[in-house]
Amino acid sequence: NAGVTQTPKFQVLKTGQSMTLQCAQDMNHNSMYWYRQDPGMGLRLIYYSASEGTTDKGEVPNGYNVSRLNKREFSLRLESAAPSQTSVYFCASSEPLSNQPQHFGDGTRLSIL
Amino acid sequence: AQSVTQPDIHITVSEGASLELRCNYSYGATPYLFWYVQSPGQGLQLLLKYFSGDTLVQGIKGFEAEFKRSQSSFNLRKPSVHWSDAAEYFCAVGPRIQGAQKLVFGQGTRLTINP
């Protein structure tokens, strides 16, 4: 009964280092999403993948890249981490119908020094 | 621009008291509407959703929400809160289209329960 699994749960990076956040879902969902959560700003969409083989930018894509590895997995990469990317990152998945809810992982807390 | 406003950043209520969390949205057309709850250190869990029909929707854990088109609001209510309701609550809206949801979230309201 895993749902959406994110790894790692915590990470500390130095400015300029690279990092890939992993996300996997076992609900056979077609659509997957990456959000960042910052205090007082709610969740903001970074990138999403409507289906395997497609990715699109969300509201705040700068500084990030994504890969939809297969139907289950959707990774988020920071090529050169910056302190402004310190945040909690959430992965979510859903069926590709806008009236279906998104299912969220427990998040990755990322600090960049 | 699409936006969701939750005017109350932090609310404190006593256990057993009633609760109302406010949500107002600005959107081109009537969107799909959601309330999510986030417990500390965890992801978001869906409480309820509104798509069409009856404007009063029931959710899990005894929550309900009322959609008021004229006020562009979707306020969340509970008649009697329990200590376990302490969490952060997010209102979100999304487009009425086929395909992936590009949700817009409010800033969140943190709920504290006094014993």
Low-confidence residues in chain B, pLDDT < 50? none
So what's the pLDDT on residue A97? 67
So what's the pLDDT on residue A16? 96
Residues of A in contact with B101 (CB under 8 A): 31, 33, 94, 98, 100, 102
So what's the pLDDT on residue B28? 81
Contact status, residue B67 vs residue B33, Cβ threshold 8 Å: yes
**Nearest-by-Cβ selection for B102 from A42, A45, A49:** A45
So what's the pLDDT on residue A98? 61
B82 reaches A (C-beta below 8 A): no
Low-confidence residues in chain A, pLDDT < 70? 1, 96-98
Top residue of A27, A43, A74, A108 to mutate, by most chain B CBs within 10 Å, is A43
So what's the pLDDT on residue B99? 75
B51 reaches A (C-beta below 8 A): yes
Cβ neighbour number for residue A69 with a 10 Å cutoff: 13
Rounded to 5°, the CA angle B93-B96-B100 comes to 80
So what's the pLDDT on residue A40? 84
